[in-house]
Structure 1
Amino acid sequence: MSSLLRTSLQIDVEARYAMMDEKKRKRMQSNRESAKRSRLKREKRLKDLVTEIAMLKQQIVENNKVYNNLTQRTQLLLSETDSLNYEKMQLAEYLNSLSSVFMSSRLKQTGCLSNQPWQVDGPKQPSITTGMSMS
């Protein structure tokens, strides 16, 4: 009986190993498939990132063009503003000189020698009488 018992135990042990080997084989196969999916996913992600980098580089080039155009436009506008401010200053000086000439001419016409033309010491207006006496 001991040989029969030994044989029975060997069959149980071999069956367990076979069962373990099958589980191990399935687990290894599952790990291989998972690793393959992981590699494919990583490759796709890398490809997507390369595409995104190319798009971002193109966007940088376009944004630089827009920036340069806006910078040039800003410089032109600043130059035009300076020119207009200079012209404004010249016109203000011209207006002041015209105002001085006008005031000088008006002072000569009214006979007022003060700088306050509203205080004119010109000829007095004749008074109008109605012929009625106030007695």
Structure 2
Amino acid sequence: MSSPQQKQTSDLRSDGDLRYANLDEKKRKRMILNRESARRSRAKKQHRLDELLGEINQLQNDNNTIMKKIDAATQMFVGAESQNSVLRAQLTELTDRLHSLNSVLHIAQEVSGLTMEIPEISDTLLEPWKLPCSFQPITTSFNMNMF
């Protein structure tokens, strides 16, 4: 038979085994919970990364669209600037012609002795941007919905 001391030692072992079993069970459950939490965290990070990549693609598409609009507007500006240069050259040429015609009229008036009404060329005609103007709508082929 066993002695009382052996029985006490055996009871301690069985209590210790249960304690260790409970401790191992808690550890195992904690590991499972930690793994599940890590899996959820990785899934959440992956989802956020996918969202950011989608946002990057959208912003790049928006940027490309804006760049195309800028290029179109730049081309329209260059075209308008070119037309303005042509119009300025024509204005200069027509102004020179008008001065020449007025000179011819003055000479004809002196030679013939007749009095002619020769209008003076006003400065506002030579600088059309200073002309008083009524507000009239400007029609263009420019598509305002482009922007």
- Of 54, 57, 62, the residue aligned with 2:60 is 57
| Alpha-carbon displacement from aligned partner over 1:93-121 (angstroms, at most 9, x marks no partner) | 223334434555566659xxxxxxxxxxx
| TM-score, normalised with respect to structure 1 | 0.66
How big is the shift at 1:83?
Answer: 0.7
Q: Which runs of 5+ in 2 are unaligned?
A: 115-147
| TM-score, normalised with respect to structure 2 | 0.62
CA distance, structure 2, for counterparts of residue 103 and residue 7 of structure 1: 140
1:35 matched to 2:35? The reply is no
Partner of 1:87: 90
1:11 matched to 2:14? The reply is yes
Partner of 1:66: 69
How big is the shift at 1:34?
Answer: 0.6
How big is the shift at 1:12?
Answer: 2.8
Q: How many residues align?
A: 111
Identity among equivalent positions (%) equals 35
**Change in CA separation of 1:95 and 1:9 when aligned onto 2, cut-off 3 Å:** same
Three-state SS of the structure 2 residue aligned to 1:97 is helix
How big is the shift at 1:43?
Answer: 2.2
* Structure 1 segments (4+ residues) deviating >4 Å: 102-110
Partner of 1:78: 81
How big is the shift at 1:79?
Answer: 0.3
CA distance, structure 2, for counterparts of residue 106 and residue 16 of structure 1: 130
| Alpha-carbon displacement from aligned partner over 1:25-74 (angstroms, at most 9, x marks no partner) | 12111111111111211221232233223323322332232122112101
CA distance, structure 2, for counterparts of residue 101 and residue 5 of structure 1: 140
Aligned CA RMSD, in angstroms, stands at 2.5
Q: Which amino acid in the other structure matches residue 60 of structure 1?
A: N
